[in-house]
């Protein structure tokens, strides 16, 4: 197969931790040709989506790739196009999904489907599964969020478009900065945010559970917050610990897996704290390399094998 990965600039990808690198290495190990491009390179001419694509020689050491050739290609000429550009889901990101949608109409197979990248905000998607979530509010009104805090005493507030723990705050009743934080996050009432009841189980980790084409990866990656932090995100200094799925983890994952597959979400990253679902990640879920290193379960190979079957 010929596989095209739409990623952030290659020099910024970390060989030791980026799941996109794990996918590319697994593809090469299984005999496939790997190409890379960036969202900014997408263009449409005569109704066909093209991009300048780098053919890659992918390696297993820190100096993990060489560009062997760069040429313009129609995306429909690849067996699969894997969209792995990181959030924020801003105007540029949404425009890229529009161009990928045109590629899909040309006959390209885009993973995840461009429509689902637009339709399923990673924070709001959990509202499809109220049986699994903690008390949650979405509002741009700081007073309404304040009333939510008054009822729950200890909450997490976060923007709807960021990743890696960016913009997440824990608020308690006596926090002297509560008004300033809410005014900043809501942009003085112009942008909705999410507030959730604080889950003390975060001390045991924010668990990442991966779904690949409707199949549940049997290991979760618990991101343990560093001392003094309420965020377990690895980007915020959390420590990764692979662990088997609990019965509750599996219940959540097996309920969501067919929904994700039905909507064209080929790769899904569920975030679970304690017994509660907190996010459904569809843009560029991670955790492949940490799970493989600690358990021997090659998530990258599972991902590529699922593309082969499809």
Name, in order, each residue with C-beta under 8 angstroms of 183's C-beta and a sequence gap of 6 or more.
142
Q: Which of 54, 122, 249, 279 is catalytic?
A: 279
Among 231, 233, 249, 290, the one annotated catalytic: 231
In the annotation, is 128 catalytic? Answer: no
Extract the tokens encoding 79: 């067996």
DSSP summary character for residue 245: P
φ/ψ of residue 89, rounded to 5? -85, 80
| 45: annotated active-site residue | no
279 catalytic per annotation: yes
Contacts of 16 (CB under 8 A, 6+ apart): 62, 289
Tokens 């109704």 belong to 47
- Select which of 84, 113, 178, 223 is catalytic: 223
User: Which one, of 199, 195, 271, lies nearest residue 233 by Cα?
Assistant: 271
Query: Is 175 an active-site residue?
Result: no
Which candidate in 123, 178, 213, 233 is catalytic?
Answer: 123
Helix (H) or strand (E) holding 307: helix 299-309
Residues 98-102: contacts with CB under 8 Å, at least 24 apart: 99/42, 99/43, 99/44, 99/49, 100/6, 100/42, 100/49, 100/75, 102/44, 102/47, 102/48, 102/49
Q: Quick check: is 158 catalytic?
A: yes
Secondary structure class of 220 (helix, strand, coil)? strand
Catalytic residue among 113, 158, 178, 207, which? 158
Residue 162 falls in the annotated catalytic set: no
Total count of residues recorded for the chain: 310
Specify which residues 80 forms β-bridges with.
Answer: 3
**How far is the CA of 283 from the CAs of 18, 69, 121, 159, in angstroms?**
14, 27, 9, 16
Biggest CA–CA distance in the chain, Å, is 60
Q: Which one from 18, 213, 281, 290 is the annotated catalytic residue?
A: 281
Of residues 18, 208, 213, 290, which has the active-site annotation?
208
Measured between alpha carbons, how far is residue 213 from residues 58, 293, 306 in Å? 25, 22, 7
Catalytic (active-site) positions: 123, 158, 208, 223, 231, 271, 279, 281
């Amino acid at each position: 197969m010929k596989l095209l990965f739409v990623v952030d600039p290659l020099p910024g990808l970390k060989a030791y931790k980026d799941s996109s690198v794990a996918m590319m290495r697994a593809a090469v190990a299984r005999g496939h040709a790997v190409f890379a491009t960036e969202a900014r390179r997408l263009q449409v001419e005569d109704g066909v989506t093209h991009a300048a694509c780098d053919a890659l020689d992918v390696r297993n050491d820190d100096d993990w790739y060489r560009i062997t050739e760069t040429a313009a290609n129609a995306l429909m000429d690849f067996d699969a196009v894997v969209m792995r550009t990181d959030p924020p889901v801003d105007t540029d990101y949404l425009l890229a999904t529009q161009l990928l949608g045109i590629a899909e109409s040309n006959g390209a197979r885009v993973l995840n489907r461009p429509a689902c990248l637009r339709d399923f905000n990673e924070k709001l998607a959990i509202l499809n599964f109220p049986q699994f979530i903690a008390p949650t509010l979405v509002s741009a009104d700081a007073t309404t969020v304040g009333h939510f805090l008054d009822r729950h005493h200890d909450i997490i507030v976060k923007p709807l478009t960021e990743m890696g723990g960016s913009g997440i705050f824990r608020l308690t009743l006596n926090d002297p900065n509560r008004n300033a934080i809410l005014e900043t996050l809501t942009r003085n009432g112009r942008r909705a945010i999410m507030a959730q009841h604080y889950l003390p189980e975060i001390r045991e980790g924010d668990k990442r559970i991966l779904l690949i084409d409707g199949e549940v990866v049997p290991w979760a990656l618990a991101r343990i917050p560093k001392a003094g932090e309420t965020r377990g995100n690895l980007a915020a200094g959390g420590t990764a610990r692979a662990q088997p799925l609990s019965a509750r983890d599996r219940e959540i994952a097996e309920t969501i897996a067919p929904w994700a597959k039905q909507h064209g979400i080929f790769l899904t990253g569920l975030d679970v704290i304690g017994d509660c679902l907190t996010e459904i990640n569809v843009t560029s879920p991670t955790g492949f390399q940490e799970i493989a290193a600690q358990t021997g379960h090659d998530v990258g190979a599972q991902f590529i094998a699922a593309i082969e079957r499809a």
